[in-house]
Structure 1
């Protein structure tokens, strides 16, 4: 995929590979390194092969993602000392996926955030998210 920012990492100069294994990469966007930022330490685990969604990953890619996730946690725990994490896949346009190469969000959470203690369900339970 010549125009995919996860297949062609150099298409987005603001992202960098932090950790990797045979089947996947952990990428940071440069603004995620900002110690004052909301997404301090956040990144995505992406398969090296182009897979549109998490449902398209091979068994080897799932295993590699699991393995890399534990390495990522160790790295983030040492570097940023978060007090929690949000983890997730967005699948399909309605599910919030904007880049159609599967990517697993790893978002460290901190006790001094204004939304500390609010998980993913908090967003979906909002009055603004009522189905019409």
Structure 2
């Protein structure tokens, strides 16, 4: 069995942390400031979150937004989760993407995540 890269926190540069979760910058960012919120407990699906973990992650998402607002002053955000291989999940440890958006980062942002930077970011994960 392959070791989980999100469980091996010694290898990660954690920028925010709470009781049940932590935040790191994405190794393959879609946009400047792309953040991942990751529960400390190992499980793959968003639907396995306990209420306690959900509340904790919600608070950390808001702390992450505040940090990104200060660091990068984005004009908007996309927040997303891939659940299962069919949905594009490649690391089977739940992680929530917070993707800062900037005016002009794509020509027409209408439709949000459906059009977010198609084929611009090589991903080897």
Same fold (TM over 0.5): yes
The match for 2:21 is 24
After superposing on structure 2, the runs of 4+ consecutive aligned residues of structure 1 that deviate more than 6 Å are: none
TM-score, with structure 2 as normaliser: 0.82
Aligned length: 115
The answer to whether 1:62 aligns with 2:54 is: yes
| SS of equivalent residue, structure 1 residue 94 | helix
After superposition, residues 26-105 of structure 1 pair within 5 angstroms as: 26-29=23-26, 32=29, 38-105=30-97
The answer to whether 1:121 aligns with 2:114 is: yes
The match for 2:3 is 3
Does the C-alpha gap of structure 1 residues 116 and 79 become closer, same or farther in structure 2, counting only changes over 3 Å?
A: farther
The match for 2:100 is 108
Shift of 1:31: 6.2
Segments of 5+ residues of structure 1 without an aligned counterpart are 33-37, 124-132
Segments of 5+ residues of structure 2 without an aligned counterpart are 117-125
- What is the Cα-based RMSD across aligned positions, in Å? 2.1
| SS of equivalent residue, structure 1 residue 85 | strand
The structure showing larger relative contact order (alpha-carbon pairs under 8 Å, at least 6 residues apart) is: 2
Q: Deviations over 1:55-96 (max 9, x none)?
A: 111111100000011111110001100001010100000101
